[in-house]
Structure 1
């Protein structure tokens, strides 16, 4: 006669328990889900500022100074995090 393993005991959920759907899961409980969106937003804002700097109607040497200042500011913020 072949012996069978007993079924593992499953933990029963309370009667009022309802598993959250994916739309109900908050970003606060799962911060890794919001991180790509936040990073995309930050990169988009930085790209927009750089676009605005490059399209200013100023002389080339002034534009170069503005871009260098922009890069220094971004680098300082990134390395201080």
Structure 2
């Protein structure tokens, strides 16, 4: 039985774009539907988290690196 792919939010590090996650997007294609979060619009973690959540399908797994990790934790909070 094959698992249904799930939504996966990928949050980049400061100054990075979707290229940071290119390998993961390819390697996880059978398991996940990745969506890249845009962290360039707002200045606070709270606002960044709210923006990602507003554009995210529930439920969604999330992974972040550097500030993207802080945003992921704020999303959980």
* Higher fraction of helix: 1
Task: State the TM bucket, normalised to the shorter chain.
Answer: under 0.3
TM-score of the pair, normalised by structure 1: 0.27
TM-score of the pair, normalised by structure 2: 0.27
| Rg larger for | 1
Q: Greater relative contact order: 1 or 2 (C-alpha under 8 angstroms, separation 6 or more)?
A: 2
